Structure 1
């Protein structure tokens, strides 16, 4: 891929300054990303209820010379989105020159910085507002590897607020978690490329039952993004063939820090109580 930001990020940035017609196109592209953008320009315009020139003006504002270049960028992203460790192996394994430690410093530093700088503060603030409301139960969920992040966030939330649960990767546990879920619930889902059907299905069902949905994902966006209220993407670039969750972990830490700022002194008694109980259990 080129040095240009992912198209989905460009679309999100453009929404604030786009005309009413262009915003319709943005919303359609984001709701059915990236497939909607692979349609002929006339069909995309008809689906959005705008003219073809409106679509082309938006494409130009995104930085593309024309619609074919825009579609090629989407195709390139689609290839990246479907990349597996085997696909990535030839690109990363056995590199000559730099030591893996040097590559790691460069890759992780760049990934963390670019991810945190790209996420709109308003999205983080909206996520924090949901997580800070102690009246709303919070459920975290993830996949084979991203479940580690879901557990990590849940661990912090349990110390800061009541009614927090992590749902492990199992059909029975997930079904039970959905039984009583409703409009007051908040689901925090983690889903990265090679997206996991179980996580996507859980998020979609939770949303249909009225829950608010916060999604942590990669720059190419999990299919769950079309259902999510808040989307927090992070780089997955790594010095190895395996996607890295280091930038995503940094984003989780940033959200926790923002939540602590929002809660102020409220969690002090809860943290003290937690420490006392932890000591009692340890004995």
Structure 2
């Protein structure tokens, strides 16, 4: 991944201080990211219901010298977004004397630091508020690899609060999980580069039923971001051709830590009961 902050993150940061017209442009870009930004400036302005100068003002505030530079950044991001392990192989191959342990220290340290440092506190707080509400059932879901993170979060949540479930891969389980979802439900979805259609479809269907949707994703954002209420991106920087989930796991751990802070002593009896039951079933 390049050293430049992804355009999508710049847009999210800008929304808090932008004018009303500029916020319309931000929403239009985020709703169909990054394709909306690859349209001519006049077409993007029409899509957002603003003037072309409003679009250009926003582009300048994002740090770009003109619309062509903005579009080139989007094209560069699109290439990174679609990169596969095969594409990344030559870029991450070790050099003579370059041990994988050294590369790992650098990649993981930078990935965790950048992800947690850039994590929007307001989004984390909003996610924690939803997860702390024991009246709201929580369902976690992920993909081929990211499902590990979904299971991991669900495991912690089950010990801290009631009504938590994880939906594994499989159409039948996912269909059954959607049956009774409504406005009180919370879905936590994990979806990273080479985004998985099944996870995106589940999230979209759940959102249509009124759930609150929290999305953990990468800096380029899963297509599910347009439906999500809360988006928590993390770096996928890795020492190998395969995207790393280490920064994403660190972000999950940070959310769990914030949830424990929010709940205070409330889960103590539940944790004690869990330990007693765990001993009983092990006998």
With the shorter chain as reference, the TM-score category is: over 0.9
Give the drift of 1:278: 0.1
Residues 212-239 of structure 1: per-residue CA shift (max 9 Å, x gap): 0000000000000000000000000100
Give the drift of 1:94: 3.4
Query: 1:99 — aligned with what?
Result: 99
SS in structure 1 at match of 2:232: strand
Q: State how many pairs are aligned.
A: 283
**Range with greater deviation from structure 2 (221-230 or 8-17):** 8-17
C-alpha contact 2:82 2:194 (8 A) present in aligned 1? yes
Give the drift of 1:2: 4.4
Question: How many Å separate the matches in 1 of 2:68 and 2:2?
Answer: 16
SS in structure 1 at match of 2:83: coil
CA RMSD of aligned residues (A): 0.7
Question: How many Å separate the matches in 2 of 1:264 and 1:77?
Answer: 41
C-alpha contact 2:136 2:184 (8 A) present in aligned 1? yes
Give the drift of 1:31: 1.0
With the length of structure 1 as denominator, give the TM-score of the two structures. 0.99
Residues 113-163 of structure 1: per-residue CA shift (max 9 Å, x gap): 000011111000000000000000000000000000000000000000000
Gaps of 5+ in 1: none
Give the drift of 1:93: 1.7
SS in structure 2 at match of 1:214: strand
Give the drift of 1:96: 2.8
Structure 1 segments, 4+ long, off by >3 Å, are none
**Range with greater deviation from structure 2 (87-96 or 167-176):** 87-96
Give the drift of 1:99: 1.1
Question: How many Å separate the matches in 1 of 2:192 and 2:49?
Answer: 32
SS in structure 2 at match of 1:255: helix
C-alpha contact 2:94 2:100 (8 A) present in aligned 1? no
Give the drift of 1:35: 0.6
Question: How many Å separate the matches in 1 of 2:92 and 2:251?
Answer: 25
Question: How many Å separate the matches in 2 of 1:262 and 1:94?
Answer: 43
With the length of structure 2 as denominator, give the TM-score of the two structures. 0.99
Question: How many Å separate the matches in 2 of 1:136 and 1:2?
Answer: 39
SS in structure 2 at match of 1:192: coil
